[in-house]
Amino acid sequence: AQSVTQPDIHITVSEGASLELRCNYSYGATPYLFWYVQSPGQGLQLLLKYFSGDTLVQGIKGFEAEFKRSQSSFNLRKPSVHWSDAAEYFCAVALNNNDMRFGAGTRLTVKP
């Protein structure tokens, strides 16, 4: 069955520390891959996306993600987290960007 898994429901990191949020997918073919961020009471903002080409994708706000076909993963990283990064992060996949499936989300808390 097609699925998107974010194994970590909640992650806490200290400000300035590095961050990695995990995302795994199960699809028959390589889908389009996305990371969105949702701040409390806000909509979904696109951080970055992978369609094809270079497997290391740079996004906004200093985020990057790496597509690893062998692991069916698309993990989100940031070298140094800021307090304003506290939010909910969603990995999403789509076979043709017409029907986007979201993971359950990872809530990020940033400690001072």
Partner 1 sequence: EPEVTQTPSHQVTQMGQEVILRCVPISNHLYFYWYRQILGQKVEFLVSFYNNEISEKSEIFDDQFSVERPDGSNFTLKIRSTKLEDSAMYFCASSFGLGETQYFGPGTRLLVL
Classify the phi-psi angles of 97: left when phi > 0, otherwise alpha if psi is within -120 to 50, otherwise beta: left
For the chain, the helix, strand and coil percentages under 3-state DSSP, each to the nearest 5: 10, 50, 40
Closer to partner 1 by Cβ: residue 42 or 55: 42
Instruction: Kindly state whether residue 101 participates in binding partner 1, applying the rule CB under 8 A.
Output: yes
Instruction: Kindly state whether residue 89 participates in binding partner 1, applying the rule CB under 8 A.
Output: no
Rounded to whole angstroms, the Cα distance separating 67 from 11 reads: 21
Closer to partner 1 by Cβ: residue 18 or 42: 42
Closer to partner 1 by Cβ: residue 54 or 99: 99
User: Footprint of partner 1 on residues 25-64 (CB under 8 A)?
Assistant: 32, 34, 36, 42-46, 49, 51
Instruction: Kindly state whether residue 103 participates in binding partner 1, applying the rule CB under 8 A.
Output: yes
Residue 6: CB atoms within 10 Å? 18
Supply the minimum distance, in Å, between the C-beta of residue 14 and partner 1.
26
Identity of the amino acid at 8:
D
Bridge partners, residue 26, by sequence: 3
Closer to partner 1 by Cβ: residue 34 or 74: 34
Give the DSSP letter of residue 54: -
Residues of this chain that bind partner 1 (CB under 8 A): 32, 34, 36, 42-46, 49, 51, 90, 92, 96-105
